Amino acid sequence: MTPRLELKNINKRYPGVVANDDISLSIMPGEIHAILGENGAGKSTLMKIIYGAIEADSGEIYCDGNLVERHNPAISRQLGIEMVYQHFALFESVSVVENIALAMRGRFDLKALSEQVRALSQRYGMPVDPKRIVHDLSVGERQRVEIVRCLLQDPKLLILDEPTSVLTPQAVEKLFETLRQLAAEGCSILYISHKLEEIQQLCERATVLRNGAVTGVADARTTSSLELARMMVGSELPKTSHPPATPSSEPVLEVRGLTAEVAEGFGVSLRDVSLSVRAGEIVGIAGVSGNGQAELISYLSGETIAEKADTVRLLGQPAGHLDPARRRQRGLAFVPEERLGRGAVPTLSLQENAILTGHRRGMVRHGLLDRKKAAEFADHVIRRFSVKARNAQSVAQSLSGGNLQKFIVGREIELEPKVLLVSQPTWGVDVGAAAFIRQTLIDISRQGTAVLVVSEELDELFEICDRLVVMCAGLVSRPLETAETNREEVGLLMTGLDKTTQSRKEVDLALHD
C-alpha cells in the first residue's frame, strides 16, 4: 500500500536554529499517527511544511505516492490535507457560519451551510451554533468551529495540533471516537500532542521529535510511557512535589453571591457565584471554556467593576469597586488567558512588558523609567523560568506562545503577590516548563500566597489544586476536596448540565448534590 503522506529528508533552518533536521516519516491511509515532542522540538515547523504554509530548505513530500512539487496551503487543500491550528485563524467580528463559508468553495449559501454545520457538529458531538459571532465564543468553542470547518472539506489527511487541551474528559472520549470513525472511513490523522496517555490510547504509531530531529518511531500501543517520555525529553519526566497545604483560616480572596446579567450573545451571565481562596492553598476552577470563567475572571481582576463592592473581597476588604491597578496595589497578580494583547503588549520588548505590572518594584523613580532595573527584572525572569529569548530587549511577539507564557507567569510570580489569579497556566507550554510552572505555583502557595487557577486541563488541576470548583452555565459548584473527588465526578459536573434543557433549579440540584 502506498502511504497517504511521505516525507523524505526534510530540512529547515532559521538563522541560528535548525528547526527540522533531516526528518522522514510516513502515514498510511486510515492511520492515526502521533507526532510527539516538546515545544521547540520542531513539530509546528514540520506541520507548516506539510501544510505548505512554509517551504522546506530541502527534502521531498509525497502525497499518495506522487511528488508534491510546488506547495502552498491551497495545494494542500486540493490534496485533501486539512489542519486545525493551535492558534485559531478565525475572524472575530463575523459569525461561525461566515467563517466557515470563507473556506468553502462553491455557492455562497449561508442557510444551507448552517444546516450542514449543525448536522455535522451534532453527528460528531461538537455542538456549535452557526449563527453566533466568533468574538463571543470561548477558546474551546472556537476549536470546535475549526474542527467542523475541516471536516466539512472531507479531508484525506487531518492534522490536529494539541486538540484536547480545551475539552472535558467526556469530550475527549467523544473526539477520539470521532477520529477513530474518521480513520475507519480511510482518513489519515496526524495527531500532535505531548500527552502520552492520549497518544497511547488513540494512535497506532508515534514519531518522536527532539531538537528538530527524529529520535524514534514507536508503536504507540506497546511502548511504555516511560520509554516515550525518554525519547521526547531525553531524560526522566519531572514530577511535582506536593507538600500538604496549611491554609489560613480566613479567606483572602472571596466572591459572595456575584450575579451579572449579560446580554444574549455577549457572553455568559454569572448566577449567584460564591467561592473563596485562603492563603496557602490552590483552588482550581474546572469547566469547559465558555461557561462563565472568562466573565468571573474579569470581575476578579478588576477589568469589570462589580455593581456591589462587597461581592468581591480581597484580604478581607470589599474590592469589587476597585480598578485593576488598585487591586494590584493590594497584592493581586493576574495571568490572563490571552498572552498577546492582554498579558503582554505584542510590539513592546520583554523589558517594557515587565514594567507594565512590575512598575511598583523600583522600576520607576520620580516618574521616570529605570530601564536598568526593568532589564534586570526581565533578565531574572528569563533565567529563572528558562524563557527562550535572546535578551530582555526581545519583542514580546517574537517569542513562541509557550515561551511568552513562561515569561508572563514568571513576571507575575516574581511580584510576590498575596493573591495570584492564573488562567490556563501551561497552555502550549512544553512538558518540562509546564512541570516547572506547576511546581512554582505549588511552592508560592506553600509560602502563603492564595492561588486561583482556571484551567481546562483536568490533569493539571488534579495535580496542583487543593480544592476544586466546577463552572457550568454561569454557576459554580460547591468546593470539592481534590483528594476526595475524581475525574468522573468533576466531568459529570462539567458536562451533565445542559443549560438549554434544564431549569435553574435542576442545575442547582445537580451541582450541589
Partner 1 sequence: MSLFIAIVAGTIIAATPLVFAALGELVVEKSGVLNLGIEGMMLIGAVFAFWAVFAGLPMPVAILIGALSGAAASLIFGVLALTFMTNQYAAGLALAIFGGGVSAFIGRGFGSTPIPSLARLDIPFLSDIPVLGPMFFRFDPLVYLGLFMVVAVGWFLYRTKAGLILRTIGESPQSAHAIGQPVIRIRYMAVLFGGAMAGIGGAYLSVAYTPLWVENMTAGKGWIALALVVFSTWRPTRLLVGAWLFGGMTILQLQGQAFGLRVPSELLSAVPYLATIVVLVIISRNRQLLMLNFPASLAKPFRPSG
- Residues lying near partner 1 in the complex (CB under 8 A): 53, 73-74, 89-94, 98, 101-103, 108, 133, 135, 263, 266
Here the cell at position 38 is 516538546
Place of cell 486561583: 452
| CA separation for the pair 456, 427 (Å, rounded) | 9
User: Which neighbouring-strand residues pair with 54?
Assistant: none
Whose Cβ is closer to partner 1: residue 108's or residue 325's?
108
**Least CB distance to partner 1 at residue 135 (A):** 7
**Least CB distance to partner 1 at residue 72 (A):** 8
Whose Cβ is closer to partner 1: residue 88's or residue 176's?
88
Whose Cβ is closer to partner 1: residue 25's or residue 100's?
100
**Least CB distance to partner 1 at residue 362 (A):** 35
Question: Helix, strand or coil for residue 266?
Answer: coil
Here the cell at position 361 is 518594584
Whose Cβ is closer to partner 1: residue 135's or residue 499's?
135
Q: Taking a C-beta distance cutoff of 8 angstroms, is the pair 96, 137 a contact?
A: yes
H-type helices in 369-425, by residue range?
A: 371-384, 401-414
**Full 3-state SS string of 127-185:** CCCCCCEHHHCCHHHHHHHHHHHHHCCCCCEEEEECHHHHCCHHHHHHHHHHHHHHHHC
Whose Cβ is closer to partner 1: residue 89's or residue 483's?
89
Strand order in the sheet with 32-36: 81-84, 157-161, 188-193, 32-36, 205-210, 213-219
| CA separation for the pair 167, 159 (Å, rounded) | 17
**Least CB distance to partner 1 at residue 339 (A):** 17
**Full 3-state SS string of 54-90:** CCCCEEEEEECCEECCCCCHHHHHHHCEEEECCCCCC
Whose Cβ is closer to partner 1: residue 110's or residue 217's?
110
Q: Of 497, 454, 460, 510, whose CA–CA distance to 482 is shortest?
A: 460
**Least CB distance to partner 1 at residue 94 (A):** 6
Whose Cβ is closer to partner 1: residue 69's or residue 264's?
264
Q: Of 161, 136, 133, whose CA–CA distance to 147 is shortest?
A: 161
Whose Cβ is closer to partner 1: residue 94's or residue 213's?
94
**Least CB distance to partner 1 at residue 98 (A):** 5
Q: Phi and psi for 367 in degrees, rounded to 5?
A: 80, 0
**Least CB distance to partner 1 at residue 103 (A):** 7
Whose Cβ is closer to partner 1: residue 99's or residue 426's?
99
Would you give the DSSP letter of residue 315? T
Whose Cβ is closer to partner 1: residue 107's or residue 239's?
107
Q: How are the residues of the chain apportioned to helix, strand and coil, as percentages rounded to the nearest 5? A: 35, 25, 40
Distance of CA 340 to CAs 188, 197, 336, 400, Å?
33, 30, 10, 11
Whose Cβ is closer to partner 1: residue 78's or residue 224's?
78
**Least CB distance to partner 1 at residue 113 (A):** 11
Query: 502 CB contacts (<8 Å, ≥6 apart)?
Result: 510
**Torsion angle, CA of 225/230/232/234, rounded to 10 degrees?**
170
